[in-house]
Amino acid sequence: MSGPYPIRGSVSLPEAELQWRFSRSSGPGGQHVNTSDSQVELRFDLAATDALPEVWKARALERLASRLVNGVVTVRASEHRSQWRNRETAAVRLAALLAEATAPPPKPRRPTKIPRGINERRLREKKQRSETKRTRQSRDWS
C-alpha cells in the first residue's frame, strides 16, 4: 500500500479500520486466474468509526444508506491482474466515495430576476415581427 488515503483536508482512511478480503477473480489472466486471489473486497465500518467527525459521519450514513449493510460500506476491485493494483484501486475508490458522501451540501440557489430591459426588448421584437407578418397578409381576395 502506498500510505494513507486522504478523504478531505487532514482526515484520511485509518488503515487499522480497513478489512480486506481476497478471492479469485474472473477476467483476464489466463491460467493465472485460477490460482491467484486477485479480486479485492474492502470493507469499512462507517457506523462504528471514530476517524470521521460526527457531522461527516452522519452525512455519509445518510447519503450512503442504500450501499450500507449493517453500517459497513463495501468496495470491490477486480479490473487488474495483480492483487496489489486491485488493493490500490479499491482504497482510492473508497476514499473518493467517502469524500463525495461527506462533502457539505451545496449552497441553495438564489433565483435571479430577468432584467426589465431584456423583457422590454423581447416584447418590442415580438411586436415588430408580428407587424412584419401582418403586413405580408393580403386581404384583397376579391
pTM listed for this prediction: 0.68
What are the boundaries of each domain within the chain? 4-100
18-23, strands of its sheet edge to edge: 18-23, 39-45, 72-77
The one-digit pLDDT tens for each residue of the chain (142 residues) are 566 778 887 888 888 888 888 887 766 666 665 667 778 899 998 888 888 888 988 988 888 888 888 988 999 988 888 888 998 999 999 999 988 888 888 899 999 999 999 999 999 999 999 999 988 887 766 5
The CATH number given to 4-100 is: 3.30.160.20
In this structure, what C-alpha cell is assigned to residue 95? 476514499
Angle between the N-to-C axes of helices 54-63 and 83-102, in degrees from 0 to 180, rounded to the nearest 10:
100
Residue 109 zone, left/alpha/beta (φ > 0; ψ -120 to 50; rest): beta
83 close to 38: Cβ distance less than 8 angstroms:
yes
Strands (E), the chain: 6-8, 11-12, 18-23, 39-45, 72-77
